[in-house]
């Protein structure tokens, strides 16, 4: 194998079928490679799936749907936009997108962190989860479209709203619909009607502020922002009113 034990592997992904590309990634990482650069990526799906441990993947281009699906540990940096299903059911690791992302960012994520510099599409964080010390986390620099945090079962979702025009509210509706775990922090205005029926609104307490501080610092580091400036503006916290909203629907 030509890729054996090379510390850095560079792959020109043009024209490579997604199955072949992911097989290649499995092979080079099995051989001990810990840094991979992918150029000319055009829609190959599932990049990073099935990879474990501390691997750095840099992507130039537009990775396909389900980027980092089921991934367990690597850090993927995208120089471009991500498509739908970014971070699908990921278990651990990081995805850092220098652009926007499509629908269902972090769907069913079980752990790991996703940082999106700009906006995200519909249903970001749908049914993301947490268990003990594993808290899936999504930080969005811009705003989200509808159903952000839908059916959220755990984890932390942050909307920074940095590209909202002065005085403008976030536009997402059905925020946190069906939410029954985790927490959403929103910077910028949200009207009551935009919220799902299952969420409550609260001010941040000391613990919230610590969590937020740490994640905003990380976000600012990734994208070269000033964390202090971001944190100066007020945030609201959304929490699930009930941890088991339908517990009595079928059994009582």
Partner 1 sequence: MKDIRLINNTYNDDKVIDACSIFGAMNLSGARFSGESVIKAIANMHDRGNGLGGGFSIYGLYPDFTDQYAFHIMFLSQRARKDAEEFLLKNFNIVYKEEVPTRSVPVIKNPPLVCRYFLDTGAAKPEDISDDDYVVEKVMEINTGLSDTFVFSSGKNMAVLKGVGYPEQIAEYFCLEQYKGYLWTAHGRFPTNTVAWWGGAHPFSILDWTVIHNGEISSYGINRRYLEQFGYMCTMQTDTEVVAYAVDLLIRKHNLPWKIVAKIVAAPFWDDIERMPKKEKELSMALRQVYGSLLLNGPFAVIIAHQGEMIGLTDRIRLRPLTVGEKGDMLYLSSEESAIRLIAPELDKAWIPMGGEPVIGRLKDKTTKESKMVKESVTVGDKK
Q: Which residues make up the interface to partner 1 (CB under 8 A)?
A: 18-19, 41-43, 45, 61-65, 80-81, 83-84, 99-100, 102-103, 119, 121-122, 143, 145-147, 163-165, 168, 171, 193
3-class state of residue 98 by DSSP: coil
Question: In the complex with partner 1, which residue's Cβ is closer, 44 or 137?
Answer: 44
| Minimum separation from the CB atom of position 188 to partner 1 (A) | 11
Question: In the complex with partner 1, which residue's Cβ is closer, 17 or 246?
Answer: 17
Q: How far is CA 89 from CA 4, 50, 125, 136, in A?
A: 30, 11, 10, 10
| Minimum separation from the CB atom of position 113 to partner 1 (A) | 22
Question: In the complex with partner 1, which residue's Cβ is closer, 23 or 221?
Answer: 23
| Minimum separation from the CB atom of position 124 to partner 1 (A) | 12
Question: In the complex with partner 1, which residue's Cβ is closer, 6 or 118?
Answer: 118
How far is it, in rounded angstroms, from Cα 29 to Cα 111? 21
Question: In the complex with partner 1, which residue's Cβ is closer, 132 or 165?
Answer: 165
| Minimum separation from the CB atom of position 175 to partner 1 (A) | 13
Q: Kindly tell me the burial class for residue 77, based on how many C-beta atoms sit within 10 Å of its own C-beta (0-12, 13-18, 19 or more).
A: middle
How far is it, in rounded angstroms, from Cα 80 to Cα 77? 9
| Minimum separation from the CB atom of position 165 to partner 1 (A) | 8
DSSP 108-148: T--S-EEEESS-B-TTTTTT--EETTEE-EEEESS-B-TTT
């Amino acid at each position: 194998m030509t890729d054996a034990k090379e510390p850095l592997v560079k792959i020109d992904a043009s024209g490579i079928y997604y199955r072949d590309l992911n097989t290649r990634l499995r092979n080079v990482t099995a051989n001990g490679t810990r840094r991979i650069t992918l150029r000319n990526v055009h829609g190959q799906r599932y990049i990073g799936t099935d990879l474990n441990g501390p691997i750095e993947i840099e992507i130039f281009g537009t990775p396909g749907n389900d980027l980092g699906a089921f991934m367990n540990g690597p850090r993927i940096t995208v120089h471009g936009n991500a498509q739908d299903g970014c971070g699908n059911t990921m278990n651990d690791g990081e995805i850092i997108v220098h652009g926007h992302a499509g629908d269902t960012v972090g769907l069913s994520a079980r752990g790991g962190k996703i940082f999106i510099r700009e906006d995200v599409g519909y249903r970001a964080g749908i049914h993301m989860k947490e268990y003990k010390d594993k808290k899936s986390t999504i930080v969005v620099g811009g705003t989200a479209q509808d159903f952000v945090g839908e059916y959220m079962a755990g984890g932390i979702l942050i909307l920074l709203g940095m590209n909202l025009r002065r005085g403008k509210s976030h536009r997402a509706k059905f925020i946190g619909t069906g939410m029954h775990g985790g927490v959403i922090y929103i910077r910028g205005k949200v009207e009551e009607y935009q919220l799902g029926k299952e969420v409550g609104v609260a001010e941040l307490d000391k613990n919230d502020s610590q969590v937020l501080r740490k994640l905003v610092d990380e976000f600012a580091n990734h994208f070269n922002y000033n964390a202090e400036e971001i944190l100066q503006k007020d945030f609201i916290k959304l929490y699930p009113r009930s941890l088991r909203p339908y517990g009595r629907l079928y059994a009582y």
